[in-house]
């Protein structure tokens, strides 16, 4: 049981390049989330999904797209990377159970855009 995994762990992009970050979870969780973490700003929600085939915008969605074709995978795409997207990206998942808000995080992807 690996929990939540993310690939790649590190990436450097040039401005205008595109890439996809992959998040996978083996806990059969319904809900998945993508966050970015910047110094002094905590974690901010980019997009989220409440189940296979669904996605929704979070707090800072501009410049990102997501897809959830399979329940266990949640992909985050950057179509045209900008230096402002230099950040650490975390994926999280949550089981849909009663009033539980407990989210479980992956190890993160550190992205630098030059």
Partner 1 sequence: GQQLNQSPQSMFIQEGEDVSMNCTSSSIFNTWLWYKQEPGEGPVLLIALYKAGELTSNGRLTAQFGITRKDSFLNISASIPSDVGIYFCAGPAARAGGTSYGKLTFGQGTILTVHP
| Residue 24 binds to partner 1 (criterion: CB under 8 A) | no
The rounded distance, in Å, linking the Cα atoms of 67 and 84 is 22
Could you say whether residue 31 binds partner 1 (CB under 8 A)? yes
Q: Which of 2, 14, 42, 69 binds partner 1 (CB under 8 A)?
A: 42
Q: Report in angstroms the alpha-carbon separations of 52 from 55, 63, 107, 108.
A: 8, 22, 22, 22
Binders in 92-111 for partner 1, by CB under 8 A: 92, 94, 96, 99-108
**Considering the rule CB under 8 A, would residue 40 count as an interface residue with partner 1?**
yes
């Amino acid at each position: 049981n690996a929990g939540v995994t993310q690939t790649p762990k590190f990436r450097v992009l040039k401005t205008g390049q595109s890439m996809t970050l992959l998040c996978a979870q083996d806990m059969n969780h319904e809900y998945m989330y993508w966050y970015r973490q910047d110094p002094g700003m905590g974690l901010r929600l980019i997009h989220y999904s409440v189940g296979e085939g669904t996605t929704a915008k979070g707090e800072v969605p501009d410049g990102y797209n997501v897809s959830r074709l399979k329940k266990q995978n949640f992909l985050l795409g950057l179509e045209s990377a900008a230096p402002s997207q230099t950040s650490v990206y975390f994926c999280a998942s949550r089981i849909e159970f009663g009033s539980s808000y407990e989210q479980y995080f992956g190890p993160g992807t550190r992205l630098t855009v030059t």
